[in-house]
C-alpha cells in the first residue's frame, strides 16, 4: 500500500473497488466533500479528454484520443480487447498518469493529487478486477463504505437494486464472479456520484446479472448521471449508449449515436440471394450495392445486396427477377444492418469473437 500523496486526506491509499481504501477507508470521518448544487444546470462537459497519449515502455496503448462527454450522457467506448479502452478510463479516474495530453473531470485534473482528492466523492468506478477481503460479508462491505461516505446504510435497498437481496451475510469469497461484479457496482454507486465509470461491467456475467446491470445503468440515466462505459459487447453498447466511440489500436476511429454509426457505415438492409442463373440486371441492379460471392456449398452464385431502400419492396423485386430469369433459387435471406456491421465496416474486424471469448 502506498503512502498518501501531498493533497490527499490521510489514510487514502489503495484502489479497492469503486473507491480508494486504506485504513480507514476514504473519505475519512470529519472530511466533507465540496457542496453539490442539486438541480443546477450544467453546460460544461462532465469529462473532457484532449490529445490523450499513454505509453508503457515502447508500447503506445492510447494514441491521441479526444472526446467530451456532456452531463447526463451514457457514453460508450467500444472496441476489441487491447484497443486501449481500459487505459483511457484509468487515465480519466487518476489511476494512470497520461504520458501526454490531459483529462478534465468536472473541471478538475485527476492526475493532480490535490484535485483528485476533491473529485473522489463525486465519482464512482467499477473496474474489471476487484480486491475485497474474502471473509468480509456483503452487508459489512456496504455498511463500511456507507459509513465513511457519511451515509446512513441502506443495505437491503441497495442489494435489491443490484440483485443481491438475501446475500447480505454471504462472505465475499463465496460470491460468484457475476455477484462480485454486482457488489462492485453497488459500492461504486451507493454514494450517489455524479459520474459512474464502468469498465467491462458485464464481462463474465450470466444473462440475469447482465439484465440487472443494464437496468441500473438505465436508472442512472433517468436520474441525470453521466456514465462512461467500456465494452466489447455490441448489444450492450447499442442498447445502453447515447454516444459511442469505436476504438481501435489506441485511436478513436468513429464517434456518433448508435443509429448514425449504423447509417454512416452502410446501414440499411442486406439481402442475400443464392441462385443458379441469376444476376442483378435492369432496375434491381440499381437498388443498392451488389457484391458477388462464391457460395460455400458450390451451388450457383451468391449475390449480396446492401440497400438503403425499404427492404420489403426490394425483396419482392428480387424474387420477381429470379423468377423472370428462370434461375434456380437455393437460398434467400434479408436482415437489417446492425452495429456489428458498422464496426466491421469501420475497423475491418469482427468484435463478436472477443465477446464469445470473454474479456481479457
> What is the rounded CA–CA span in Å between residue 109 and residue 94?
8
> What is the rounded CA–CA span in Å between residue 27 and residue 21?
9
Instruction: Please report the sign of the dihedral spanned by the C-alpha atoms of residue 311, residue 314, residue 328, residue 277.
Output: negative
> What is the rounded CA–CA span in Å between residue 220 and residue 305?
40
pLDDT value at position 239?
A: 95
**Residues contacting residue 81 through CB under 8 Å, at least 6 positions apart:** 232, 354, 359, 360
Considering 16-20, 39-43, 66-70, the range whose residues carry the highest mean pLDDT is: 66-70
Domain ranges in the chain are 47-256, 266-347
Tell me which residue has cell 478513436.
252
Mean pLDDT of the chain: 84
What are the pLDDT digits (tens) for 86-140? 999 999 999 999 999 999 999 999 999 999 999 999 999 999 887 889 999 999 9
* Residue 21 phi, psi dihedral angles, 5° rounding: -135, 130
pLDDT value at position 128?
A: 84
Determine the 3-state secondary structure of 147 from DSSP: helix
CB 195 within 8 A of CB 228: yes
Q: Which three cell numbers stand for residue 192?
A: 450517489
Q: Which three cell numbers stand for residue 262?
A: 449504423
First to last CA, the chain: 25
> What is the rounded CA–CA span in Å between residue 25 and residue 17?
11
Cα–Cα distances (Å) from 57 to 61, 99, 100, 213, in that order, read: 10, 11, 14, 36
Alpha helix positions (H), 254-308: 258-264, 282-285
pLDDT value at position 267?
A: 62
Determine the 3-state secondary structure of 120 from DSSP: helix
pLDDT value at position 45?
A: 96
Q: Which residue has the higher pLDDT, 236 or 293?
A: 236
3-state secondary structure 172-202: HHHCCHHHHHHHHHHHHHCCCCCEEEEECCC
Tell me which residue has cell 420489403.
312
For domain 47-256, the CATH class is: alpha beta
Determine the 3-state secondary structure of 151 from DSSP: coil
Determine the 3-state secondary structure of 340 from DSSP: helix
For the ranges 38-47, 267-276, 325-334, the lowest mean pLDDT is seen at 38-47
Which of 3.30.70, 2.40.50, 3.40.630, 3.20.20 would CATH assign to domain 266-347?
3.30.70
Amino acid at each position: 500500500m502506498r503512502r498518501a500523496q501531498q493533497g490527499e486526506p490521510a489514510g487514502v491509499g489503495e484502489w479497492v473497488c469503486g473507491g480508494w481504501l486504506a485504513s480507514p477507508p476514504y473519505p475519512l470521518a470529519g472530511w466533507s466533500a465540496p457542496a453539490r448544487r442539486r438541480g443546477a444546470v450544467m453546460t460544461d462537459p462532465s469529462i473532457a479528454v484532449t490529445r490523450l497519449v499513454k505509453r508503457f515502455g515502447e508500447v503506445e496503448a492510447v494514441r491521441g484520443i479526444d472526446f467530451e462527454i456532456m452531463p447526463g450522457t451514457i457514453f460508450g467506448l467500444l472496441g476489441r480487447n487491447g484497443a486501449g479502452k481500459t487505459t483511457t478510463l484509468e487515465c480519466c479516474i487518476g489511476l494512470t498518469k497520461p504520458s501526454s495530453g490531459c483529462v478534465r473531470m468536472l473541471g478538475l485534473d485527476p492526475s493532480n493529487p490535490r484535485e483528485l482528492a476533491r473529485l473522489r466523492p463525486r465519482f464512482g468506478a467499477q473496474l474489471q478486477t476487484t480486491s475485497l477481503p474474502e471473509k468480509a460479508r456483503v452487508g459489512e462491505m456496504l455498511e463500511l463504505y456507507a459509513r465513511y461516505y457519511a451515509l446512513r446504510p441502506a443495505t437491503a435497498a441497495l442489494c435489491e437494486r443490484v440483485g443481491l437481496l438475501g446475500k447480505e451475510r454471504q462472505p465475499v469469497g463465496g460470491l460468484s464472479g457475476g455477484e462480485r461484479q454486482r457488489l462492485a457496482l453497488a459500492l461504486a454507486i451507493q454514494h450517489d456520484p455524479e459520474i459512474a465509470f464502468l469498465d467491462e461491467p458485464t464481462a463474465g456475467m450470466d444473462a440475469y446479472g447482465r439484465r440487472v446491470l443494464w437496468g441500473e445503468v438505465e436508472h442512472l440515466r433517468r436520474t441525470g448521471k453521466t456514465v462512461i462505459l467500456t465494452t466489447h459487447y455490441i448489444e450492450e453498447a447499442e442498447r445502453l449508449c447515447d454516444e459511442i466511440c469505436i476504438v481501435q489500436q489506441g485511436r478513436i476511429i468513429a464517434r456518433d449515436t448508435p443509429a448514425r454509426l449504423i447509417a454512416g457505415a452502410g446501414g440499411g438492409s442486406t439481402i442475400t440471394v443464392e441462385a443458379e442463373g441469376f444476376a442483378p440486371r435492369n432496375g434491381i441492379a440499381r437498388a443498392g450495392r451488389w457484391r458477388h460471392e462464391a457460395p460455400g456449398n458450390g451451388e450457383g452464385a451468391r449475390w449480396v445486396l446492401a440497400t438503403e431502400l425499404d427492404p420489403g419492396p426490394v425483396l419482392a423485386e428480387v424474387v420477381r427477377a429470379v423468377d423472370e430469369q428462370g434461375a434456380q433459387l437455393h437460398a434467400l435471406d434479408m436482415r437489417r444492418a446492425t452495429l456489428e456491421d458498422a464496426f466491421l465496416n469501420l475497423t475491418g474486424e469482427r468484435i463478436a469473437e472477443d465477446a464469445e471469448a470473454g474479456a481479457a
